[in-house]
Structure 1
Amino acid sequence: MDMSRRMALSALVAFAPICRTYARQAPADTYPNRPIRLISPYEPGGGVDIMARLVARNLGSELGVAVVVENRPGAGGVVGTQALTAAAPDGYTLILDSPSPLVVAPYLMKKLNYDPHKDLEPISLIADVPAVLLVKNDSPIHTVADLLAMARKAPGKLTFSSSGLGGTAHLSAQLLKVLADVDMLHVPYKGTAPAIQAVITGEVTMTFADMTAGLPFARNHQLRAVAVTTPKRTPALPDVPTVAETVPHYAASVWYGVLAPKGTPRPIIDKLNLALVKFVHTPEVNKMLVDEGAEPAGSSPEQFRAFLRRESERWGDVIRKSGLQPQ
């Protein structure tokens, strides 16, 4: 081998680690340089959609690019979540997701085309939100005790609406049924907004609406807030008791988190995580979330992944005890 070829080969060998380092760093160094799509897997106007638009606005400000919300509703959030798993793992398609498609759907759907624990990259939790039990203003139900007494007097006669199978309202009611040993009839709707409207029109007795969607109806007295589902009362409705004050050990909430497709480079995950956690804990956003009944979260990807495992086990147990079967 002549000297020029040896020198060229030596240069290539010396340059290889630099190339590998650049390859690892380049995605995060240049990311993002175009708009990001944030999937909201539910209809406009519901709690997930409201939170998705808050995230999009603030994440876009942190990253310096537009973050555009795309509603992909269907099958209790499964359609939108499945769309994420089919997206390129480049950081330009994310999802603002909730318990139903991530920890409930595997127990309630026979054919689920993704594994929430293998096909998604958790980035950060955003907030934990109570649900609020809402009834008509002229309803005889003023307390959880009233509700349970009526349910026991006429099993299966009380009706509750939900945004669909496995949604916040459905699981909150199922947990109450299991812990209080009562029977109530589930009436699913296509989204949170029509589920709430069904209470207003008297089509159903009640609903458990996540706070971001249900709070305005309680505050303007369109509906009566009977109880909240978290262990402690919420500052947003300080005079409204918890379900647990009547039914010990009751605790349910809807949480929101941002995820990416499996295989998204870790430097991009870390950059997104830093931006999300930063804006969640800014005084303005923190106050906005608390005022809307939410508890700001923010987490590492590893904490979010472990949280998903725990939630999956917890709600899987509730689903088994309630006798719900996969469809």
Structure 2
Amino acid sequence: MRRHDLAALSRRTLCAGALLAAGLPSAFAQAAYPSRPIVMVVPQAAGGTNDIVGRVVSQKLAEKLGGNAVVENKPGAGGNIGTQAVAKAPKDGYTLLMTISSSQAINPALYKAPGFDPVADFQPIALIGAVPNVLLAHPSFPAKTMPELLAMAKAKPGQLQYASAGNGTLNHLLGEMLNQMAGIELQHVPYKGVAPALNDVLGGQLPLLFGSLPSTLSHIKAGRLRALAVSSAERSPVLPDVPSIAEFVPGYSGTLWIGLFAPAGVPKDVIERLNGGMRLAMADKEMREKLEAQGVELAGTADKPVTPEAFAALLKQDIAKWARIVKTSGATIN
């Protein structure tokens, strides 16, 4: 190489080093995270509880990180399709999973080959909160209260039907858990999705349904459905006059938690940025009010959110809990 070529190369190298030292953008400097939009995958259809929460959270997280975020719905196979996509996504922090406990904690027991490991393939970022289901009845149904329903079910074993979004879904297994713990025999009627199940209960074709609070609150307020009880251990602040099932069936508790995950293998500094962004988002008054208005019972407090470690422990606990219920119910999907 000629002397003047070496000199030119040295000058370019010195300039690049100066840019890096000064923290200025250059082809040699790595852009700070996030330098492009974050894709938050919701493995359920648009309009559902997880989608509603995901859109609120993605906007606030992007704001706190000083970037942009978009929600991408990837429904199918009970949430498995979207979950698999995130598990196989590049490990750079630009593809995240906003999911629910029914997909992350129930599907591994329900499906013989879900296509992902709920623990090994993901890193917990933040537990957003929990959403109770409501045991709903058509207004014409004779039982007006939870005690009346339990008495009727015991008098007519196997004759009272409840709808669900399909075999192994949370609103199916909540009914199975009620059967086991209350010593009754409600008859399960699976549908292909929550929309047709809800429509048939609204139309009076079936009397009962477990439905998430955010997706059924408008029907409850309008009197199109009667709320008999909520599935959470305690009453919901959104429906303070509606008792919990646990008030009549001690120990009963089943909620749908919502949380944010990254694929396993994302660099530690990116995970720390995401954790920090979510801590700020979870402390944001505007976001908290929006989610609480939808019936979401937020995890932790504004000053002390649930840690990723505690979220990981909850996931493992729920995987074991729902595996027992799935096994007892006999539900399985190939």
Tell me the distance in 1 between the aligned counterparts of 2:190 and 2:67: 38
1:293-312 equivalence runs, <5 A: 293-297=295-299, 298-312=305-319
Return 5+ residue gaps in structure 1 as ranges.
Answer: 1-14, 19-25
For the pair shown, the structure with the greater C-alpha radius of gyration is 2
Tell me the distance in 1 between the aligned counterparts of 2:146 and 2:164: 18
Q: 2:88 aligns with which of 79, 86, 89?
A: 86
Contact 1:42 1:191 in 2 (8 A): no
Q: Secondary structure at the match of 1:30?
A: coil
1:1-327 equivalence runs, <5 A: 30-297=32-299, 298-325=305-332, 327=334
Contact 1:281 1:296 in 2 (8 A): no
The answer for the alignment partner of 1:10 in structure 2 is none
Structure 1 position 326, deviation (Å) = 5.4
Structure 1 position 196, deviation (Å) = 2.0
Query: Structure 1 residues 174, 28: CA separation in 2 closer, same or farther (over 3 Å shift)?
Result: farther
Instruction: Please list the CA deviations of residues 146-177 of structure 1 after superposition, one character each: whole Å capped at 9, or x if unmatched.
Output: 22233233333322222333333122112111
Query: Structure 1 residues 28, 115: CA separation in 2 closer, same or farther (over 3 Å shift)?
Result: farther
Tell me the distance in 2 between the aligned counterparts of 1:160 and 1:273: 40
Q: Secondary structure at the match of 1:284?
A: helix
Contact 1:164 1:188 in 2 (8 A): yes
Tell me the distance in 2 between the aligned counterparts of 1:319 and 1:233: 26
Q: Secondary structure at the match of 1:225?
A: strand
Structure 1 position 29, deviation (Å) = 6.7
Return 5+ residue gaps in structure 2 as ranges.
Answer: 1-16, 21-27, 300-304
Q: TM-score, normalised by structure 2?
A: 0.85
Q: Secondary structure at the match of 2:85?
A: helix
Deviates more, 1:183-192 or 1:236-245: 183-192
One-letter amino acid of the counterpart of residue 318, structure 1: I
Tell me the distance in 2 between the aligned counterparts of 1:58 and 1:187: 39
Instruction: Please list the CA deviations of residues 73-108 of structure 1 after superposition, one character each: whole Å capped at 9, or x if unmatched.
Output: 112111111111111111111111111221111211
Contact 1:135 1:224 in 2 (8 A): yes
Contact 1:132 1:211 in 2 (8 A): yes
Tell me the distance in 1 between the aligned counterparts of 2:71 and 2:193: 17
One-letter amino acid of the counterpart of residue 123, structure 1: I
Q: Secondary structure at the match of 1:78?
A: helix
Query: Structure 1 residues 193, 281: CA separation in 2 closer, same or farther (over 3 Å shift)?
Result: farther
Q: Secondary structure at the match of 2:106?
A: helix
Deviates more, 1:225-234 or 1:286-295: 286-295
Structure 1 position 223, deviation (Å) = 1.1
Deviates more, 1:56-65 or 1:304-313: 56-65
Structure 1 position 281, deviation (Å) = 2.4
The answer for the alignment partner of 1:7 in structure 2 is none
Q: Secondary structure at the match of 1:57?
A: helix
Contact 2:130 2:257 in 1 (8 A): yes
Structure 1 position 236, deviation (Å) = 0.3
Tell me the distance in 1 between the aligned counterparts of 2:158 and 2:323: 23
Contact 1:161 1:188 in 2 (8 A): yes
Q: Secondary structure at the match of 2:211?
A: strand
Query: Structure 1 residues 190, 161: CA separation in 2 closer, same or farther (over 3 Å shift)?
Result: same
The answer for the alignment partner of 1:4 in structure 2 is none
Q: Secondary structure at the match of 2:266?
A: coil
Contact 1:47 1:192 in 2 (8 A): no
Contact 1:39 1:95 in 2 (8 A): yes
Instruction: Please list the CA deviations of residues 23-43 of structure 1 after superposition, one character each: whole Å capped at 9, or x if unmatched.
Output: xxx999711111111111111
Tell me the distance in 1 between the aligned counterparts of 2:175 and 2:167: 12
Tell me the distance in 1 between the aligned counterparts of 2:60 and 2:193: 25
Tell me the distance in 1 between the aligned counterparts of 2:156 and 2:77: 31
Instruction: Please list the CA deviations of residues 94-127 of structure 1 after superposition, one character each: whole Å capped at 9, or x if unmatched.
Output: 1111112211112111122111111111111001
Query: Structure 1 residues 140, 28: CA separation in 2 closer, same or farther (over 3 Å shift)?
Result: farther
One-letter amino acid of the counterpart of residue 313, structure 2: A
